Structure 1
Amino acid sequence: MNLINKEVTHKRFGKGNVVKHNDSIIEIHFATENKKFVFPDAFEKFLKLHDKNTANSLEKVLQKKIIERKKIEQEKEEELNRQRKEQQLRLEHAKLMKNHKLHPESQMVFWCDAEELDRVFTEWKIFTGVIKSGNNKGKPNKPIRIHQNSVCLLTARDSSMSEKDRRILGVYLVNEGFIGKFCEDGYIPAHPKYRLQLTEQESDRMLFWKYYLNEKFPHKMTWNTGKYRYFDNVWMAQILLDIVSLKNDTQEQELAQNFFEHFCKMNQIRAEELSEPNGALMQT
């Protein structure tokens, strides 16, 4: 749009002619001096073009500019609202964790079948199963120890394998706001960030019984019944640390490291004081 020599009127300086302009600045010669203004914004409030055709074309430019500005303002407002919401959630989380007494065994390990594994790594949630007997028979199990500091460990073994060869296939932190004793449907959802699936090669190097130990029977590696069991917070930290060392991909290794550090913070574990794994496999 060429506005050179076009006549304009300014609310304060009166009539003038355009002498220069670009996409952001317009310069106008008035009776006694030249003035520069922001283009095209100045035409919203202070300036008026005399030429009707040019004014109509400029009006379209202004409307487009207004729409773009409103969109930017809306995005900024939405971002501010998101930040306020996140801050509120952080405060609520801090308050909840302050009042929450950590259980030393608030991690959960699951025995997953092939069909379940296909689903858990797409939906990123796992079912605790149902109660087998008693007044609540048929109702979902409530993972009462599970809190925001808890991790779900996913394991499996082929029917042709012995129990000592049980492999770790994946791991995830439970979602923020999840409290096991209030869980009615039996599903434990994953945190949107802290979740890891191991490759087959990585799983072959992550044997569950390297970390897990039945203190009454330290040499035994048996999982007779049940879909899940609780286990020690420190053992989970050992597992996460070993996963960090397994990852070759820089991005995945960074995620695993952040996961490990976050877990240690949530469970009040000093990473530098973490002991070496000493599960049943290490007793033989």
Structure 2
Amino acid sequence: MNILGKAVKHKTFGDGTIQKLEKNHIIISFSVGNKTFVFPDAFFSFLTTTDEELNFLVGELLEERQKQKLLAHEKKVKELQQKALFRSIAPAAKAKTRKGKRANVAFKCNFCDGGKSKEQIGFYGVCSDKMIYNNIKIENRTWCNAEDCPCLEYLKGEITREKLDSYCQDNGIVCYESQMLKDWKAFAGVVQNGKRKGKAMKLQQVQKNSLCVLTTRTPGTGENERFIFALFLVDDIYEGDEQEEGYVSTTSKYKIKLSPQEAKKMLFWNYHSNGNKPKNPAWSSGLHRYFTDEEAVQILKAVVEIKKETADSYLAVDFLEYYCGINGIAGNTVGEARGALKR
């Protein structure tokens, strides 16, 4: 079909006429001069026409483009699912027995309110529309803004909410945060800048029976308000390599999630501090950091206090005693917390 000479209308420039078609671009003449647009994409947002033939052509092209995007996205989701499956079965073949100093690990997580309830802060499904907008448009989170992120596609109107939610069903995955309290698994992530940008990060100091704490902060709050929303005893670890980032997980009973009210009382920087600037609650780069057994015991003791008179009260006490026993720690010799906010 020859579209040259067809009349169109732009939201800002008004009436115009198509002058030229070059591959996937069209040049349109307006009263303010010639303007170039991507074809047919511009008709999705900026351009309209009353020409029936052109409308039909544009509709067919946009529909085909949408199908291609959906196919590409579904392919990417399958790759993510296969990657997650690989990570769940690979350690038996790839894990190494590490020797050396053992450390505990804390993870910095993007806030996710998926599955939020009285019992948990979220991290159990896809974020709400409000949180998706926040993580993409306001917080500018790295993965949330990736081209193949399902949430970004949803925000752009390329997929429906129903389609987005379906990706988290049947062991699917939208992002690491969306499955964190389903699978009790945390990943080391990839390097975001510098010479090693894009390279997988390793977990070189974590071993079996290390404590893992999951931290986040709510939108609009500062780093000093970062809190712990869940913790578990590591019994499954993959150190990672150049292609696959490391992860920790658990299948044991020693895992506790905190309610929204409980979590706000567990400020991470009450227990942890930076070696070079101990009074400064700054995480800086990276998705994980290591902390000492002393800090781990202080965190577990605080959880025992918070969980008093709850269904998890016995588990919290058992967790503390087991952690100290298995790691040879005299819990009664551990002093008060001396994190950045306590100095």
Structure 1 residues 134 and 224, CA gap change in structure 2 (3 angstroms) = closer
Specify the alignment match of 1:188 in structure 2. 248
SS at structure 2 position matched to 1:121? helix
Larger strand share, 1 or 2? 1
Q: Which AA in structure 2 matches 1:187?
A: Y
Do the aligned residues in 1 keep the contact of 2:200 with 2:240 (CA within 8 Å)? Answer: no
CA shift in 2, pair 1:179/1:267, >3 Å? farther
Q: Distance in 1 between matches of 2:219 and 2:179?
A: 20
**Local SS of the residue matching 1:237:** helix
1:135 CA displacement: 8.2
1:88 corresponds to: none
How far apart are residue 146 of structure 1 and its match? 0.8
Q: 5 Å matches for 1:2-21?
A: none
Aligned residues: 184
Any residues of structure 2 matched to 1:61-140 within 5 Å, and which?
A: 100-103=99-102, 106-115=103-112, 116-132=176-192, 138-140=198-200
State the identity as a percent. 33
Using the alignment, how far apart are the partners of 2:248 and 2:190 within structure 1?
14
- Report deviation, 1:215: 2.9
Unaligned runs of 5+ in 1: 1-95
Alignment partner, residue 226 of structure 1: 286
**Residue identity matched to 2:262:** E
Inter-partner Cα distance in structure 1 for 2:208 and 2:274: 25
Choose between structure 1 and 2: higher helix proportion.
1
What's the CA shift for 1:140? Answer: 2.7
- 1:96-128 per-residue CA deviation (whole Å, 9 max, x = no partner) reads 99x95443xx11111101344432011110111
2:297 aligned residue (214, 220, 237): 237
User: How far 1:191 moved relative to its partner?
Assistant: 3.5
Encode CA deviations 1:241-274: one digit per residue, 9 max, x unaligned.
1101111345411111111112112332101111
Alpha-carbon separation, structure 2, partners of 1:130 and 1:179: 15
Deviations 1:182-202 (A, max 9, x none): 895523212321111000111
Segment of structure 1 superposing worse, 112-121 or 192-201 = 112-121
Question: Counterparts in 2 of 1:151-166, with a 5 A limit?
Answer: 151-166=211-226
Query: 1:268 pairs with 307, 328, 335, which one?
Result: 328
RMSD across aligned positions (CA): 2.6
SS at match of 2:321: helix
Contact kept, 8 Å, 2:189 with 2:245, in 1: the verdict is: no
Verify the 8 A CA contact 1:147 1:179 in the aligned structure 2. no
After TM superposition, which residue ranges in structure 1, 4 or more long, deviate above 6 angstroms? 133-136
Cα separation, 1, equivalents of 2:199 and 2:266: 33
Q: CA 1:182–1:193 in structure 2 vs 1: closer, same or farther (change >3 Å)? A: farther
Q: Deviations over 1:208-255 (max 9, x none)?
A: 111111232121111221111111121011001110111134541111
Structure 1 letter corresponding to 2:271: Y
- Cα distance in 2 for partners of 1:223, 1:185 equals 20
State whether structure 2 residue 201 is matched by structure 1 residue 141.
yes
**Matched-pair contact (CA < 8 Å) for 1:172–1:191:** no
Indicate the residue corresponding to 2:268 in structure 1.
208
* Alpha-carbon separation, structure 1, partners of 2:194 and 2:284: 21
Rg (Cα) greater in structure: 1
Separation in structure 2 between the aligned mates of residue 211 and residue 273 of structure 1, nearest angstrom: 16
